[in-house]
Amino acid sequence: MIPRTLAKKLRELAGYYPSVVVTGPRQSGKTTLTQIAFPEKSYVSLEALDIREFARSDPRGFLAKYADGAIIDEIQHVPELLNYLQSEMDARPDPGRFILTGSQHFGLSQSISQSLAGRCGILVLLPPSLEELRAFPTAPADLFSVLWQGAYPRIYDRDIPAHQWLADYTATYVQRDVRQVINVMNLQAFSGFLKLCAGRTGQEINLSALGSDAGVSHNTVRAWLSVLETSYIIHRLPAWHINIRKQVVKAPKLHFFDSGLVCYLLGIREPEQLRLHPLRGAIFESWVISEIYKTCVHSGVQPSIFHYRETRGLEIDLLIEQAEALDVVEIKSGATATPDFFKNLERFHNRLKDRGTRRAIRGHVVYGGDDSQQRSNARVLSWRDVQRLIVDSIVGKRCQEPF
């Protein structure tokens, strides 16, 4: 298995808290990460029905078997076990005693907030970033293959064809994981809804329009989006709505975490189809934002990222907000940097300048070409170097001079 960035933060938190919870989507590598990070610990998975029943029917006996601590995998299957873990950790608060993993964030976070508040660190493991994927011998080298295959590690670790693996993953997710979160009576309707969402990646969320297309109610759309979000299929990028003008749009954007899953749901069967696909730009935008999101959470940093749009046309794909500066990012899938790539950066800069802002404003363009360069008015980053924007702007290394 490839090295994961989150391992460093995981070991760090295990030195502070009696337990650390690692959550994230199914098949993102949580089990492998925890076992490699803590090879000396016993491991037990609550995925197996007999082990699950043991933990549920005799929680004290179950925990007595692991009195010195353990990695307990898929803890969301027996959330009531957390109540007994609380007593165990209060009686013996050794740092890093229990390492817990779970896939359904909503149910898990509710149980943690009720039982383990103040006793655990919480981390999120998403599929590998581009930088992490490069450790695989079979990692793709061109942009369209990167977007099409996505980043779930088993595709690369087991050399499974991406289209086959994503088909099986989607079927398992809909048939099994969704039913564990809510009672979806019509799985076919939910599957159709999932595909409709894929067609809207990189777009603002309109609940009424989405419900109309899916043939379900406004409230059902809201609930189903929450399912996709809590199981780490999508995330919502909030709008940045400082009071510059009253015409600022405040709707969040929908982004998928994995571009390969989007391609599968859209019926894109080979990487070259992306070259002329009408959603190529939206898929690339979601991929870039996912890369930034991953690097944040894998470094233990809460993302402070937004999009911006005015009704009169000015739009910024990504804003990275910091106390002392604002990073303004345009995302373009084209392989040649043209003057059009920079026009919204300049307009947005003038908007804030007219308002009298004192924060540094740094302009960036991430594009589908291969060469990174510093322009007079912005830094241009190849998709291959997207990590440089993430590390510089979020994790805390030196950034470029102000816009």
220: CATH = 1.10.10.10
Which residue(s) pair with 43 in the sheet? 71
Q: Do residues 245 and 308 both lie within one domain?
A: no
Domain boundary among 86, 104, 124: 124
Q: Is residue 293 part of a domain?
A: no
Report pLDDT digits (tens) over 126-162: 999 999 999 999 999 999 999 999 999 999 999 999 9
Q: Is residue 256 part of a domain?
A: yes
Q: Do residues 160 and 257 both lie within one domain?
A: yes
Per-residue model confidence (pLDDT) at position 358:
76
Per-residue model confidence (pLDDT) at position 357:
74
67: CATH = 3.40.50.300
Q: Do residues 60 and 163 both lie within one domain?
A: no
Greater confidence, 345 or 176? Answer: 345
Q: Is residue 217 part of a domain?
A: yes
Q: Do residues 143 and 276 both lie within one domain?
A: yes
Q: Do residues 210 and 261 both lie within one domain?
A: yes
Domain boundary among 68, 101, 124: 124
- Number of folded domains in the chain? 3
Per-residue model confidence (pLDDT) at position 173:
87
Q: Do residues 202 and 162 both lie within one domain?
A: yes
Answering whether pTM is above 0.85, one says: yes
pLDDT band at 166 (very low <50, low <70, confident <90, very high): very high
Q: Do residues 36 and 177 both lie within one domain?
A: no
Q: Detail the DSSP E strand segments found in 200-321.
A: 203-204, 234-237, 253-256, 305-309, 315-321
Q: Do residues 262 and 377 both lie within one domain?
A: no
User: Which domain covers residue 178, as residue numbers?
Assistant: 130-282
Q: Is residue 67 part of a domain?
A: yes
| DSSP calls for 55-90 | HHH-HHHHHHTTTT-EEEE-GGGSTTHHHHHHHHHH
Note whether 305 and 319 are within 8 A (CB): yes
Q: Is residue 176 part of a domain?
A: yes
Domain boundary among 282, 307, 327: 282
Note whether 105 and 276 are within 8 A (CB): no
Helix pair 6-14, 280-298: axis angle to 10 deg: 30
Q: Do residues 370 and 233 both lie within one domain?
A: no
Q: CA 343 to CA 339: how far, in whole Å?
A: 7
Q: Which amino acid is at 357?
A: T
Q: Is the pLDDT of residue 197 over 80?
A: yes
Q: CA 360 to CA 403: how far, in whole Å?
A: 7
Q: Is residue 292 part of a domain?
A: no
Report pLDDT digits (tens) over 22-65: 999 999 999 999 999 999 999 999 999 999 999 999 999 999 99
Q: Do residues 187 and 211 both lie within one domain?
A: yes
Neighbours of 259 (CB within 10 A): 26
Report pLDDT digits (tens) over 78-115: 989 999 999 999 999 999 999 999 886 656 666 776 77
Q: CA 388 to CA 132: how far, in whole Å?
A: 14
| Residue whose pair of structure tokens reads 């590390």 in the numeric block | 391
Q: Is residue 237 part of a domain?
A: yes
Report pLDDT digits (tens) over 243-286: 555 567 789 999 999 999 999 999 999 999 999 999 999 999 99
340: CATH = 3.40.1350
